[in-house]
Structures are given as C-alpha cells and as structure tokens.
Amino acid sequence: MDIVFALGGSVLMPKDGASAENIKSYAQVFKKLKDMGHNVSIVVGGGNTAREYIKVSREFTNESVCDEIGIMATRMNAMLLISALSKYSVNFVPTNFKDAEMILNLGKILVMGGTHPAHTTDAVSATLAEFTNADLLVIATNVDGVYTKDPRTNNDAKKLEKMTTKELIEITGSNSISAGSSSVVDSLASKIIDRAKLKTIVVKGTPDEILKSVLGGHDGTIIIP
C-alpha cells in the first residue's frame, strides 16, 4: 500500500519527554512498514517548537510570517526523523510535492514538513496523499480520534468510530486557521480529503497505534468518502 502519515510534532518531540529513544521508536515502526513492502511518506508537524516561536513572533508580525516560522519548525522536526531513519530515507526535506514524489520514486521513505502559509501539515499530508495517489492517509495526533465536539473543552463530546468525509467537513469547518492553531484535522485538510476521496484514519500518535492503523486493531476514527 501507498501510505501517507501526518505525524504531529508534539508526538515526535513531546514538550516533556523529547528523546532519541522516542524518535527511534517511531523510526522503527516506519522502517518495519517499509520492510513489509509499503511505500511510506511522513509529513511531520511543528509541535511545541512551532507554537512557542509563533507566540513570540505574533508580537511583531502578521500571520503569514508566523506561519513561515512554523514551517521552519516542521522542517527541523522532519530532518530529525530523517536522521533516525538513516538509509531508509535521504538527507533532504522537500518543500514541494514534485520533489517529494521523486524521493518516493527512489524507493526511500519520504519525510517532509510544511509548504506554504495558511494551513497546517494536515493539509500538506492530504495534498501529498492526493498528489501521489496514496491508498491511505493516517493522521497520528495527540487525540485518539475525531469527536463530535472538541473533547478538551466539551465534556459531552463523543468519539466517532466511523464517519464520512462530508461529516468531517461539517465538524472541522469552523476551525481557526491562525498560525499554530491545533484542531484534530484542519479545515482545508478536510476539504482535500473529501475531494480526493481519501480513506483516512485518525489515531492517537503512539508507535503502536500507528502500526495498528495499517495492520488493523487501532482505536481511532475511520473516515470514508
């Protein structure tokens, strides 16, 4: 299968607990999937680093420049994962989908970060999945699936086991697009998932859940066209 993963930056580099061991555990999962014959692409988010930098830069400049700073953090995280993947990847973080596709065509694991302002790496992962005709998009994040409402602020939010791409658009449509905003799936990504008819799974970004999103038995939300 051709699989694109959106890997949250806070998952790869958690605020408390960033370590080589943590990154190695993700690299092992992606290497394993590659060894099983899957084509693996990973779009890494900016996590806490992006948020800290955006918070400070917002005092000086506009949202697009804040986004550019966020993008730099995503590329730094991407390079870190590349270093842990060693020969399975290449020491290059592409900044557009054509270069990204060439890395896949070399038979390597592709790792990239952001591209342009005004969206998050969720939208990058959805576009990459569309561009490369991927069979599956896995969004590995810090919540364990898509809820009817934001579970951080609504006690009555219910997790959805299965939903359609149209329902995803309804739930995420009003999400903020400010630099550094973090919703389970960004609103542009939802629209791309719908137009590209992408089978998508949203899971908690642990190495185990990421593996299960492909092999079966995960505890996340399945989104179908």
| Rounded Cα gap, residues 76 and 72, in angstroms | 6
- The answer to whether 200 contacts ligand U5P (rule: CB under 6 A) is no
Q: Tell whether residue 218 is among the known ligand binding residues.
A: no
- The answer to whether 124 contacts ligand U5P (rule: CB under 6 A) is yes
- The answer to whether 46 contacts ligand U5P (rule: CB under 6 A) is yes
Question: Please, which residues bridge with residue 200 across strands?
Answer: 137, 223
Q: How many residues bind ligand U5P (CB under 6 A)?
A: 22
Least distance between ligand U5P and beta carbon 83 (Å): 19
Q: Tell whether residue 120 is among the known ligand binding residues.
A: yes
Strands 110-112 vs 39-44: parallel, antiparallel or unpaired: parallel
- 27-49 burial, b at 16+ Cβ within 10 Å, e below that, comes to bebbbebbeeebbbbbbbbbbeb
Q: Determine the interface stretch with ligand U5P among 115-123, 145-153, 159-167, 207-215 (rule: CB under 6 A).
A: 115-123
Q: Please tell me the number of Cα atoms within 13 Å of 88 on its side-chain side.
A: 24
- The answer to whether 180 contacts ligand U5P (rule: CB under 6 A) is yes
Site string for ligand U5P, 47-76 (x = CB under 6 A): x--x----------------x--xx--x--
Q: Tell whether residue 119 is among the known ligand binding residues.
A: yes
Q: Determine the interface stretch with ligand U5P among 31-39, 95-103, 109-117, 144-152 (rule: CB under 6 A).
A: 109-117
Reduced to 3 states (helix: H, G, I; strand: E, B; else coil), residue 40 is: strand
Among 83, 92, 95, 117, binds ligand U5P (CB under 6 A): 117
| Rounded Cα gap, residues 6 and 18, in angstroms | 18
Distance between first and last Cα of the chain:
18
Among 41, 57, 115, 175, binds ligand U5P (CB under 6 A): 115
Q: Tell whether residue 144 is among the known ligand binding residues.
A: no
- The answer to whether 39 contacts ligand U5P (rule: CB under 6 A) is no
Q: Which sign, positive or negative, has the C-alpha torsion 94, 15, 126, 66? A: negative
Least distance between ligand U5P and beta carbon 216 (Å): 27
How far, CA to CA in Å, does 193 sit from each of 111, 133, 208?
20, 12, 24
- Site residues (CB under 6 A) for ligand U5P? 9, 45-47, 50, 67, 70-71, 74, 114-121, 124, 179-182
Binding residues for UMP: 46, 67, 115-121
